[in-house]
Amino acid sequence: MSVTATTSPAVGTLYVSPSPRSRGMPRVTMTLRSVVSVGSILTKLQQDCATPLPVIRHVADSMTADMRAGLAVDGGSNLKMILSYVDSLPSGNEKGLFYALDLGGTNFRALRVQLGGKEERVVATEFEQLSIPQELMFGTSEELFDFIASTLAGFAEKESKKFHLPHGRQREIGFTFSFPVKQTSIDSGILMKWTKGFAVSGTAGRDVVACLNEAMERQGLDMRVSALVNDTVGTLAGARYWDDDVMVAVILGTGTNACYVERTDCIPKLQGPQSSSGRTIINTEWGAFSDGIPLTVFDRDMDAASINPGEQIFEKTISGMYLGEIARRALVTMAGEGSLFGRAVPNKLSTPFALRTPDICAMQQDNSDDLQAVGSILHNVAGIESSLSARKIVLEVCDALVKRGGRLAGAGIVGILQKMEEDSRGTIFNKRTVVAMDGGLYEHYPQYRSYLQDAVTELLGSEISKNIVIEHSKDGSGIGAALLAATNSKYDHDF
């Protein structure tokens, strides 16, 4: 669908007021100015966030270069390239009862899984999911970890007979903590900073496993974290359990990030004993990438108003927490300067984050002639009465931003793949290589997914991209964390 707002006669009718008083010359002049204004704001937005091939090529190449710089030395680039201490991936032989906790962006999840080895694989799972109460995102570290530990305690109490823990053993947990953590071992790591709008006091600079242990003690809960993992690492482990060709995992949800399997001899900053497998997983923390990203004035304003200005620029352009907000900011300007929705800017539209990414996604699924669903979402979310032409403009705004997001994410994936291929020629592009994807944005937004795939195909060409399988791995990160708890169990295991 395409609307050329500057010339479309349909857009012109948008602003004609039914009131007789406004039908005089001055009103007409203003109407024409408004039409031009909305059109020019849209055109400028589309130009500023365009991602033609040279732009995505530059992003992919820069991602590769930043990865190398971050592997050379800590602080060598925007990409932290964090060592995960995960040196061996699940084999399928894992057995026993393991728990997983997942603290991500929007939700908190506790899960248990009974693993049955190669033959039986996942024998049983149970989980409980809660949204993280808003006030905890701005509270104290103790409050947040008490919430986690008490949810876990309630969940552990409900363990059913399908699950068996050998006598005398402590329940072990894979703790997925989806924020930048400098790992100090497989079961400890220091929170570097919060992302995704979290501003909990007293956690940054602390070992998050110690924070959880203290909270579990306060609850009288006798469980032990045997693996601390990022959600990307959990996803990679979970997907690899089923498919040996998985080499990269990407989260596109509230926030975004990617990890991949790296050769230890390609990590100059790695000191001390190297893993026996010669491989390890690197958590790139690519949300902090920023080179060459096309930005609009709405991105800059949103960044300036955020709790972490100047940080997480890639994340702020491509992930679910922000796409709706960037669109809202563009619409507010169109409403204010171009009277997109009539004379006034609808009050509710002026509230930051009033328009969420699931809203713009739902609007983009509307294929009806009169865009009725778009109209009712605008009405429900922001109290807007919209004409058909205004709805078309809204969709153009959403599409421009989602296209940029999907294509940049695709370019980031190519950046990682080409880094791996450069170091081990023929091992990535000449054989089947799987990129495991998870996160609500990727799962629920078909347009985003197809823009992402288009960019990968454009960058790699049709032959190579046939070998690159970009695949949704649903909820792999929970099972993945449990599997890593099994691999790193303190008890003897026969796998």
Nearer to ligand BGC, 62 or 312 (CB): 312
Residue 61 annotated as catalytic: no
Closest CB to ligand BGC: residue number: 255
Q: Which lies closer to ligand BGC via its Cβ, residue 97 or residue 251?
A: 251
Chain centroid offset of residue 440 CA: 8
CB of 319 to ligand BGC, least distance (A): 7
Two tokens at 357? 């990414």
Nearer to ligand BGC, 90 or 287 (CB): 287
CB 155 within 8 A of CB 110: yes
469 closest CA partner among 437, 422, 426? 437
Nearer to ligand BGC, 145 or 286 (CB): 286
In angstroms, the CA 76 to CA 422 distance is 20
* List 61, 66, 80, 196, catalytic entry: 196
Q: How far is the CB of 238 from ligand BGC (least distance, A)?
A: 14
Whole-angstrom distance, CA of residue 173 vs CA of residue 156: 11
Residue 196: CB minimum distance to ligand BGC, A: 5
Strand partners, 283: 82, 259
State the burial class of residue 212 (Cβ atoms within 10 Å of its Cβ: 0-12, 13-18, 19+): buried
Active-site position among 61, 66, 231, 303: 231
In angstroms, give the least distance from the CB of 232 to ligand BGC. 5
CB-wise, 178 or 488, nearer to ligand BGC?
178
Instruction: Find, among 113, 87, 82, 253, the residue nearest to 181 by Cα.
Output: 82
Residues engaged in binding ligand BGC (CB under 6 A): 104-105, 178-180, 195-196, 230-232, 251, 253, 255-257, 285, 287, 315
- Our answer to whether residue 466 is catalytic in this structure is no
Q: Can you read off the two tokens belonging to residue 142?
A: 């103790």
Strand 181-185 versus strand 188-191 pairing type: antiparallel
Structure tokens at 94: 């894992």
Residues 314, 290: Cα–Cα separation, whole Å: 6
In sequence order, what E strands does 12-83 have? Answer: 82-83
Least distance in Å: CB of 72 to ligand BGC? 21
Show which residues are catalytic.
Answer: 196, 231
